[in-house]
Structure 1
Amino acid sequence: MLFRNLVLVTSLALLPMTGQAADLDEARVKELVYEAIRENPQIVMEAVAILQRQDAEAQAQAQASVLSDQRSLLEQDPNAPVLGNPDGDVTVVEFFDYNCPYCRRAMPEVQALLDADPNVRLVYREWPILGEGSVFATKAALASRLQGKYEAFHWALMGMNGHADEASVLRIAEDTGLDVKRLKSDMDRPEIAEHIETSMRLSQSLGFSGTPAFVIGDKLVPGFVESEKLAEAVDKARE
């Protein structure tokens, strides 16, 4: 498929050189293209660059459309935890997984952003993509909202050593002062499954391939990023 696209793209570049190009069939166009490639091999690299640019432009347009259409869900979903200033003038949305080492590295960067800018509103999209332990941790964290302890439990989970699984998550829940029996029951509530499903759908439509991933205004910031870069994106969104 890629080579076929290269042939078609390259042929478009050759058409102005051929007075009767409109009358050529596809076989003859290919023949001309192959001949041109043999004489001028860099045509292939130029065609690849054109395709890559077109793909990037198409992806950017698709992402901009999703941001426009899903802005309310991304930033105002009542089923998503909010930290920082609930009335802040700029919203940062973070997609994360408790077992993601880069998310754990990003934790102090996010905390530094919140400490430095009291007008940042942080929305968490729990996106458990690294196995059953991640799913369990996500369900437990979301269920902790019903006991008013999400923030403390979240930071504790993000700062833990080792793998997040049922045993480690429940141990941290007890240390955080949660009613573990109630927590385990609340983990099966439908709104928790809905949050995870929505995170999966949004991340796919935005083209995110891993965690962490941030949405700040109209800017998508995939991967680990330091607090200074987060602050720059916040300032840009504020402008």
Structure 2
Amino acid sequence: MIRNSARLASAIALAMLFSPINHVIAQEQTPTSPTPQPTAPEAKAPVFPAPDPADFTATAPTKDVVNAFMQANLGFDANSMWQVQAIQKTQLPGISKVIVFIGDKTGKQQPYRFAFFTTPDQKHIIVGERIVPFGDHPFAENRSILQERANGPYRGSAGKDLLLVEFADFQCPHCKAAQANMDKLVADFPKARIVFQNDPLVSIHPESLTAAEYATCVAKLAGSTAFFQFASAVFDGQEGLATADGATLTLNSAATKAGLDPAKVSTCAALPETKATVDASSQLSKDLDISAVPTLVINGREVPANAPYETLKKIIEYQARLDGIAQ
């Protein structure tokens, strides 16, 4: 469920759909060689035009940094290819314009032009309406933030070397669908710490806050195992959250299935400190500029938690290798 509007091209390459810049890239057809576009059976990798040295007028970022940024984002897909086409000064001091051509080695995806502006600190880029982490290690800062502040219930390892943080809303149908992926990740990545962070979108899901407060209390009273039993029951009975009365029945039933007294959970859920805990989790989402649920953050790298499972798995394995984590 998208919180903010996002500009996604209809024919954007699969690789970009699962990078942190997926919310902001607008596709423009990249000029290629004048050869007519081949038919699908004869598709070949695109031929990008040679960069013009006159288009490299800025001293920062360097071409190496831009390539490292692209590698961090797209390197999980062996078929991805790109070319840094320009790094230009702008009329604003310290702000550079970067143009990258992106394609697919199989020729099955239409190549496109990706343009962005780097901020003076060279730690961020501006694309559309979003500010995105940039650099040769673009996810490192968000990874540190999550290691410090992602304190929700978790499954898997107590360590935080491989930290997978799911931001979800109990009333969101896409979040319910993503739980199959999350269960598979628990089985396939036993060395990962897989954390659940409440991110209720109250403006469109009125009962999501109450569900998050109940969930917070279940974890507080009985720990992570009980929390995930409760969460599974709530997602299974998600239709019951459509009304306030239905939510009460659904949440009380889920608390019972998790082995708790619903009255105690309800009393805890009404406490101001419980809402403060949920608000802190939502604030973490805002601080990371997460624009949709369900989102899975893999060592600081945002991907849709309901993406095709094999793609999620490939990205996690790739990010672990980038971060030097043995699997």
- CA distance in structure 2 between the aligned counterparts of 1:153 and 1:181, rounded to whole angstroms: 15
| Equivalent residue number for residue 279 of structure 2 | 197
Residue pair 1:106, 1:226 contacting (<8 A) in 2 also: no
Q: 2:290 aligns to what SS in structure 1?
A: coil
| Higher mean C-alpha displacement, 180-189 vs 219-228 | 219-228
* Shift, 1:76, TM fit: 4.1
1:114 maps to 2:165: no
Please give the root-mean-square deviation of Cα atoms over the aligned residues, in Å.
3.1
Q: 2:270 aligns to what SS in structure 1?
A: coil
Q: 1:119 aligns to what SS in structure 2?
A: coil
- CA distance in structure 1 between the aligned counterparts of 2:137 and 2:285, rounded to whole angstroms: 14
* Shift, 1:184, TM fit: 1.0
Call closer, same or farther: CA 1:226–1:163 in 2, change over 3 Å: farther
Residue pair 1:103, 1:224 contacting (<8 A) in 2 also: yes
Query: Greater share of helix residues, 1 or 2?
Result: 1
* Shift, 1:192, TM fit: 2.7
| Equivalent residue number for residue 212 of structure 2 | 138
1:150 maps to 2:246: no
- Which of 174, 185, 188 is the aligned partner of 1:102? 174
* Shift, 1:198, TM fit: 2.1
| Equivalent residue number for residue 160 of structure 1 | 237
Q: 2:167 aligns to what SS in structure 1?
A: strand
| Equivalent residue number for residue 197 of structure 2 | 125
- CA distance in structure 2 between the aligned counterparts of 1:108 and 1:96, rounded to whole angstroms: 13
TM-score with structure 1 setting the length: 0.68
How big is each residue's C-alpha offset from its partner over 1:108-142, in whole Å with a ceiling of 9 and x where there is no partner? 11101111221121111101114331111111011
Q: Where in structure 2 are the equivalents of 1:1-239 lying within 5 Å? A: 53-54=116-117, 55-56=126-127, 59-61=131-133, 68-69=140-141, 71-77=143-149, 79-87=151-159, 89-129=161-201, 130-145=204-219, 146-148=221-223, 149-164=226-241, 165-222=247-304, 224-239=306-321
Call closer, same or farther: CA 1:206–1:73 in 2, change over 3 Å: closer
- CA distance in structure 2 between the aligned counterparts of 1:120 and 1:60, rounded to whole angstroms: 25
Higher relative contact order (CA 8 A, sep 6+): 1
Call closer, same or farther: CA 1:137–1:112 in 2, change over 3 Å: same
Gaps of 5+ in 2: 1-111, 118-125, 242-246, 322-327
Q: How many pairs align? A: 192
Call closer, same or farther: CA 1:50–1:225 in 2, change over 3 Å: closer
In structure 2, give the amino acid aligned to 1:162.
E
- CA distance in structure 1 between the aligned counterparts of 2:178 and 2:149, rounded to whole angstroms: 23
Call closer, same or farther: CA 1:208–1:186 in 2, change over 3 Å: same
In structure 2, give the amino acid aligned to 1:126.
N
In structure 2, give the amino acid aligned to 1:138.
A
Q: 1:209 aligns to what SS in structure 2?
A: coil
User: Radius of gyration: which is bigger?
Assistant: 1
| Higher mean C-alpha displacement, 156-165 vs 120-129 | 156-165
Query: Greater share of strand residues, 1 or 2?
Result: 2
Question: Sequence identity of aligned pairs in percent?
Answer: 24
| Equivalent residue number for residue 19 of structure 1 | none
- CA distance in structure 2 between the aligned counterparts of 1:100 and 1:156, rounded to whole angstroms: 14
- CA distance in structure 2 between the aligned counterparts of 1:201 and 1:124, rounded to whole angstroms: 14
* Shift, 1:209, TM fit: 2.0
TM-score with structure 2 setting the length: 0.51
